[in-house]
Chains A and B, each alone.
Chain A
Amino acid sequence: MLSEWFPNVIPEDLWIATQETMYMTVVSVIGTLILGVMLGLLLFLTDRGSLWENRAVYGVTAIIVNVFRAIPFIILILLLFPFTDFLIGTIRGWKAALPALIAGTAPFYARLVEIAFKEVDKGVIEAAKSMGAKAHTIIFKVLLPESMPALISGLTVTAIALIGYTAMAGVIGAGGLGNAAYLQGFQRNNFDVVVACTIIIIIIVFIFQFIGDLIAKAIDKR
């Protein structure tokens, strides 16, 4: 039946493309999580009235985050080519897509992290201060656990945007399902390949959303 509906799809090739997309997504999600939380934390802590209020640091961080969010992703990849070449040693393949993917989504996630921290009850932070907590105790034992459901659902939203970006990166040489849809499908006029790639991407998105919702719900004790 598969060969009847999708005559031009080569299952082995599609499987490799799917794996590449998964690698790109998972590694970038991890990179985005780390970089995004760090940037979000910096934004939150250096904001006016916060623990490490510092206008200069807040201003610079905010500008960097806003600039990276403003650059269209497809142009960001091109802009980062020299940096990618230096860091990864190549500008082709799924690994070469990672710097652009992380640089493109981390600032977006950083803003979501900042919002999540702002939603944490000020009274709870005050209570921790009244107990004589150090700044790092407040960060790791109050801010992060108390904002965890929002951090997780923010990461889910970011991961899904990221899957879209991997397809774009695929078109200009990063491999994966975007690459397969474009080269094997669109360029060779095999529309069934485009449809097959679309279906797989939709399934991946659904899986991420499902897992994200599940975790966010499980840890939310409010």
Chain B
Amino acid sequence: MIQIKNLKKIYQTKKQKVQAVDDVSLTINQGEIFGVIGYSGAGKSTFIRLINRLEEPTSGSIEIHEKEITKMSANELRLKRQKIGMIFQHFNLLWSRTVYDNIAFPLEIAGVAKSEIKEKVMELIHLVGLSGKENNYPSQLSGGQKQRVGIARALANDPEVLLCDEATSALDPETTDDILDLLVSINQKLNLTIILITHEMHVIQKICHRVAVMENGKVVEEGDVLDVFVRPQSKTTKRFVQQLNPLEHQQDKLAEFINDRDDSEVIKLHFIGKNTKRALISEIAKKFDVEVNILQGSISPTQEGSYGTLFIELNGANDVLTKTIEYMKQAGVEVEVLKHA
């Protein structure tokens, strides 16, 4: 478990103080993938560097497995860092070393014996899917392959936590998905805690269990990915969620379906988790005397289950409509009646 309390980082320039990270407190559980999302300048990059003290915190504390990072001496910190893996947006591989030697580097730093290094490196090369590439130089690899080397290198000393600094931001969408799949499989295989920062909601949706949204150095929203997706609270979060759900943009196109008549309602349904697989629409069509007109819908998978959005128009007598809506609510589906403009 990682516990971050009242973490602050203030940059003092000649003219002004900049609060890069402003009183952030978070608890990250063992084995979870925790995402921090924010626009550039939100302080997320500084935040992740504070965790392994590549940037010194101004105040606050960080505990990893009950050991307080913020109180460690330079030497203790150095040894602890060997157990904190980190991968970077621009990979940061040594161009002068082969794939094999890049992955061996953290093991050399930790003083591991040569024979053990060989065994471990070959195992890691296999794990990240780079068998046969061990003697290539980074310049001979694609972006995705370079990040695989970065991941293998970060895992070399069996870390307690993996920090990902915009790890997929320099990759194309397809390669991004491959790398994210790899991170999920590592998370499951090794039960490794992963903290990642990103500006892409897609990354959060695809692999994170919990998410924190950062803005101006502060965490403005935090929670299970599914909850944050379905019920975004802050304006920033809503904007991020919209990135993924194009339907949200098109709500005004539905306006023409919304009218003042009593026998018609336009309804937005949120299906969460196992409810996404339910045949709710045909259920209500059979059970109640209503006509259902499906306007549009979509479904998005997340680590904690899927969530779907569906816009429908219901036609029927007023009291029947009320009953139908009540029934759908009882079924555990979120129902939102879109009001007439």
* B interface, CB within 8 angstroms of A: 52, 54, 77-82, 84, 86, 88, 90, 92-97, 105-106, 108-110, 137, 139, 153, 157, 163
B92 touches A123 (CB 8 A): yes
What's the Cα separation between A154 and B90 when bound, in Å? 28
A132 to B85 CA separation, bound complex (whole angstroms): 10
Chosen A-B contacts, 6 in total, with CB atoms closer than 8 Å, are A128-B105, A130-B163, A131-B106, A131-B153, A219-B96, A222-B95
Q: Are B82 and A123 in contact (CB under 8 A)?
A: no
| B110 x A127 contact (CB < 8 A) | no
Given contacts A134-B78, A137-B109, contact A222 B139 (CB under 8 A): yes
Chain A residues lying within 8 Å of B84, measured Cβ to Cβ, are 130
Contact at A123–B88, with CB atoms within 8 Å?
yes
Query: CB < 8 Å: which of B54, B108, B137, B157 contacts A129?
Result: B54
Q: Which of A123, A141, A145 contacts B90 (CB 8 A)?
A: A123
B93/A133 in contact, CB under 8 A: no
Residue in chain A with minimal CB distance to B79: A132
A window 138-172: CB within 8 A of B? 141-142, 145-146, 148
Closest to B110 in A: A132
- Interface: A214 (CB within 8 A): no
Instruction: Say which residue of A130, A141, A145 sits within 8 Å of B52 (CB atoms).
Output: A130
Please pick, from B82, B94, B97, the residue contacting A132 in the complex, using a CB distance under 8 A: B82
State the 7 A-B residue pairs at the shortest beta-carbon distance, nearest first. A132-B81, A127-B92, A123-B92, A132-B82, A145-B96, A130-B86, A221-B137
* Contact indicator per residue, chain A 117-132, by CB within 8 Å of chain B (1) or not (0): 0000101101111111
Shortest Cβ distance from B98 into A: residue = A221
Question: What is the interface of chain A, defined by CB distance below 8 A to chain B?
Answer: 121, 123-124, 126-134, 137, 141-142, 145-146, 148, 219, 221-222
- B94 A145 Cβ-Cβ under 8 A: yes
Whole-angstrom distance between the Cβ of B201 and the nearest chain A Cβ: 25
Question: Considering only CB atoms, which chain B residue lies closest to A144 in the complex?
Answer: B96
Checking A145, A146, A221 against B139 with a beta-carbon cut-off of 8 angstroms, the contacting residue is: A221
Taking the closest CB of chain B, its distance from the CB of A53, in whole angstroms, is 13
Asked whether, in the complex, the Cβ of B95 is within 8 Å of the Cβ of A221, the reply is yes
Evaluate contact between A126 and B92: CB separation under 8 angstroms: yes
Chain B residues with CB under 8 A of A137: 108-109
B82 adjacent to A131 (CB under 8 Å)? yes
On whether the beta carbons of B86 and A127 are closer than 8 Å, the reply is yes
A28 to B285, CA, bound (A): 94
Question: What's the nearest-Cβ distance from chain A to residue B75, in Å?
Answer: 9
B81 A131 Cβ-Cβ under 8 A: yes
Evaluate contact between A141 and B81: CB separation under 8 angstroms.
no
> In the assembled complex, which residues on chain B have CB atoms less than 8 Å from the CB atom of A141?
105, 108
Q: A123 to chain B: which residues have CB within 8 Å? A: 88, 90, 92
Kindly provide the distance from the CB of A153 to the nearest chain B CB, expressed in whole angstroms. Answer: 15
Residues B95 and A146 in contact, CB atoms below 8 Å apart: yes
What residues of A have a CB within 8 angstroms of the CB of B92 in the complex?
121, 123-124, 126-127
**Complex Cα distance A199/B120, Å?**
57
For the complex, give the distance between the alpha carbons of A134 and B108 in Å.
11
The one of A129, A146, A219 in contact with B81, judged by C-beta atoms closer than 8 angstroms, is: A129
How far in angstroms is the closest Cβ of chain B from A150?
12
Which of B77, B88, B137, B153 is the most central at the interface, judged by chain A CB atoms within 10 Å of its CB? B88
Q: B139 touching A132 by the CB < 8 A rule?
A: no
Per the bound structure, the CA–CA distance linking A132 and B153 in Å amounts to 13
Q: Provide the residues of chain A in CB contact with B110, threshold 8 Å.
A: 132
* Given A124-B93, A141-B105, 16 other A-B residues pairs in contact with their CB atoms under 8 A: A123-B88, A124-B92, A126-B88, A128-B105, A130-B54, A131-B82, A131-B86, A131-B109, A132-B80, A132-B82, A132-B110, A133-B109, A137-B108, A141-B108, A145-B97, A219-B96
In the complex the two chains form, is B86's CB within 8 Å of A146's CB?
Answer: no
Query: How far apart sit A130 and B153, CA to CA, in the bound complex (Å)?
Result: 11
Assembled-state Cα–Cα distance A127/B84 (Å): 11
